[in-house]
Structure 1
Amino acid sequence: MNVTAIENFFCVIYNISFMNCTWHVDRNASGDTQYFLYWKTSRKEDFLSCQNYIKDNCGRHTGCRFQNVTIEGSSKAYFLVNESRNGQNILPYRKTIYLYEIEKLTPPLNVTVNCTGVSHSCEIQWQPPRTSRVHIGDTCFKYEIVIEKKADPEEGIKTTSKMERNITGNSYIFDSFSAKKRYSVKLRATNNHCSVSENWGEWSTPVEFGREQLTSISSYTLLLISVVAASLVLFLCIVTIYLKTVPATVLQPKDLFHDISPVNFQTENQLIKHETEEIITIIEEAA
């Protein structure tokens, strides 16, 4: 039994649920040397073999790609690399890793900047990065924020200047704002006293603001405002066309005298006279 020849075994979790594990092999290894990776997330489980190997030019396995990886709290993962050389099994390589320690955090999400010319300040807001770990709170992250004043030949500014801060929370007030200058801001996240990777995550896409733009908002908000404005204009056009094409109906007051059915006053007088005569006749007979 010889000591395994692989070196620099390394794993990283990225894009929330993907994991790559790689290793270096002995340069003097024979052509029929091969490596097989197995892993599990609990001592009680059985090892699972790699299903998607990374290979070198000689066809030797030098890594493995995994999908749908999740992190349950501070759980460990157990890795085993078997080496087969000249038909003989070499002493396997073993390593135990806390999965949260090897995760590459995604950039903070939905970075927006809102500036006001009155206070000469900007409020920068964002949402926490996504992670493969379940049940994690916003307070588990701290951020590095970099605000850069852009070069501006028109203003005689030939170089850029940066301001860096390490902060917690999901917002930051930039109080050195000038509407005539052009700025950009980007952020990245790391652990803040939780079971999160101590390594800095990926940078967010820079967001530019300034240069007479008193309010810089997200593209989603701009799209929403445009849709509402277009809908209002369309509604007013439809109402205008409707009023022009449909004739207005004017309600006329009723003519009470005209609506009353004509009465035959001669017939009515005869009826009254007849009824009166009958009443007089009845009274005479009673006497």
Structure 2
Amino acid sequence: MVALVQSVWLLVLLTPACRGGDPHPAPDNMSPIMNLKLDSRKKMLTWNYRRHVSQQNCSIQTPGDPDTSTVPRVGDNDTYFCTFPNAVLHRGASLRVRGISDGDAFQEVLTFNNSGVEGTGAVNFSCLIYDVRFMNCSWAPGPAAPADAQYRLYAWLSADDEEKECVHYITDSTETHVGCHFDQLGEPKRTDNYFFFVNGTSKDTAIEFVDFTPFVAVNMEKYNPPANITVRYNGSNHIIRWDNPVIRFDLASHILYYELDLQRKGGFPKKDPVFQRGQDRNVYLVPGSEAKMQSTLRMRVRHLRNKIWSEWTDPVRFGIPEEGDGTMVSLAVLVVVAAALPMVVMFFCKNLSGRVMNKLSAHGRVMGMAVRASANSPQGKLRHGG
């Protein structure tokens, strides 16, 4: 009996040691993932593992979009992460991490929902780069937004950048933020993408946040109008030349797309516009059949692959007036005046010369009389008698 008790006591002592000292071991079917979290601004899913994992991947599913998968990366403190920069999260999302651990497949799912009330988030969001170095973004309050809703815009250039809140808000008549002006865009690169995130606050209502797919910077620019437009007639055609506008990004000239609006004066039907790709030296020849017609020209330009047109240039008038045109009468008058001008000048010069000679002659007679009178005076006689 004593031997049996000692054997049982020895078994109690040895059992914890055989389990590695853990009185509460994890079940074999427990997920190896810990601390699964989503940063909705950076669209980054992060987590840690409690044991070795292989063949892992992560994916996201959002309403109306196909599933997107990627391979996790490891960062500081053995934290794994996946980023989904093109995902739109404000409509909700389902994120999954899959892998193999100890020979068994596992899956962990995180369901994400927008905590704001539907219809309170900002709507009609858009951004535009202009004058090479400035950018404006604008939006409108959501249709279900309360009167005290206030919105805030955050922007960054890549997933590795820290988001920055707008510094120069544009407000409406109720002081609600409805836009943002950026006056420091930094040095441009053709690979620039802009990321935006708009959230809001209200005393009584949770405001939806709104996020977007990345804005491709080269497609956001509104160009200045074409510059230095000239029209020259070579005897048979009018030759139109112009310079490409100064733009923010270093792009080839053929990526520019021009519209020329050429209209004839005198009640002619409206002409269809002319479209032309950019060149290093831009030239357009007006057809010879239209060379003598009085015409006007205005132009605008955009990037070939977007729809953001520049403003129109001021109208440029050109053409050779036809016979009977009031302009020809004016030219004839100018020719007559130019021909008569030398004769008029000669007449005035001759008349002026005669007047001067007459005045000099009269002045000479007066001086002669004064000299004779002086000689006949007593003083004069004394001077001459000596």
| Pair 1:108–1:19, CA change in 2 (3 A) | same
Aligned counterparts of 1:126 and 1:78: Cα–Cα separation in 2 = 36
TM-score of the aligned structures, taking structure 1 as reference length: 0.62
Quote the residue 1:29 is aligned against. 145
Alpha-carbon contact 2:149-2:207 (below 8 Å) kept: no
Quote the residue 2:232 is aligned against. 114
Quote the residue 1:14 is aligned against. 130
Aligned residue for 1:26, secondary structure, equals: coil
Alpha-carbon contact 1:104-1:197 (below 8 Å) kept: no
- How far residue 200 of structure 1 moved from its aligned partner, in angstroms, is 2.9
Instruction: Choose the corresponding residue for 2:217, options 90, 99, 102.
Output: 99
| Pair 1:177–1:202, CA change in 2 (3 A) | farther
| Pair 1:179–1:55, CA change in 2 (3 A) | same
| Residue pairs, 1:195-274, within 5 angstroms | 197-212=306-321
User: Aligned letter for 1:112?
Assistant: T
Alpha-carbon contact 1:107-1:203 (below 8 Å) kept: yes
User: Aligned letter for 1:16?
Assistant: V
TM-score of the aligned structures, taking structure 2 as reference length: 0.47
Alpha-carbon contact 1:103-1:197 (below 8 Å) kept: no
Quote the sequence identity (%): 28
Quote the residue 1:253 is aligned against. none
1:149 aligns with 2:269: no
Could you give the per-residue CA deviations for residues 53-83 of structure 1, whole angstroms, max 9, x where no partner exists? 1112221111111124364214210001121
Aligned counterparts of 2:316 and 2:139: Cα–Cα separation in 1 = 38
Give the aligned CA root-mean-square deviation in angstroms: 2.5
- How far residue 21 of structure 1 moved from its aligned partner, in angstroms, is 0.9
Aligned counterparts of 1:184 and 1:190: Cα–Cα separation in 2 = 21
Aligned residue for 2:199, secondary structure, equals: strand
User: Aligned letter for 2:180?
Assistant: C
Aligned counterparts of 1:14 and 1:80: Cα–Cα separation in 2 = 21
1:60 aligns with 2:172: no
- How far residue 50 of structure 1 moved from its aligned partner, in angstroms, is 0.9
| Pair 1:125–1:40, CA change in 2 (3 A) | same
- How far residue 137 of structure 1 moved from its aligned partner, in angstroms, is 2.3
Aligned counterparts of 2:180 and 2:164: Cα–Cα separation in 1 = 12
| Pair 1:28–1:142, CA change in 2 (3 A) | closer
Aligned counterparts of 2:148 and 2:287: Cα–Cα separation in 1 = 65
Alpha-carbon contact 1:40-1:47 (below 8 Å) kept: yes
Quote the residue 1:181 is aligned against. 293
What residue ranges of structure 1 are gaps of 5+ in the alignment?
Answer: 152-157, 214-287
Aligned residue for 2:222, secondary structure, equals: coil
| Pair 1:55–1:165, CA change in 2 (3 A) | same
Alpha-carbon contact 2:145-2:207 (below 8 Å) kept: no
Aligned counterparts of 2:218 and 2:123: Cα–Cα separation in 1 = 22
Aligned counterparts of 1:28 and 1:137: Cα–Cα separation in 2 = 46
Quote the residue 1:41 is aligned against. 157
| Pair 1:27–1:75, CA change in 2 (3 A) | same
Aligned residue for 1:162, secondary structure, equals: coil
User: Aligned letter for 1:210?
Assistant: G
Aligned counterparts of 1:18 and 1:77: Cα–Cα separation in 2 = 14
Deviates more, 1:27-36 or 1:40-49: 27-36
Aligned counterparts of 1:31 and 1:161: Cα–Cα separation in 2 = 48
Aligned counterparts of 1:147 and 1:19: Cα–Cα separation in 2 = 32
Instruction: Choose the corresponding residue for 2:194, options 66, 71, 77.
Output: 77
1:140 aligns with 2:255: yes
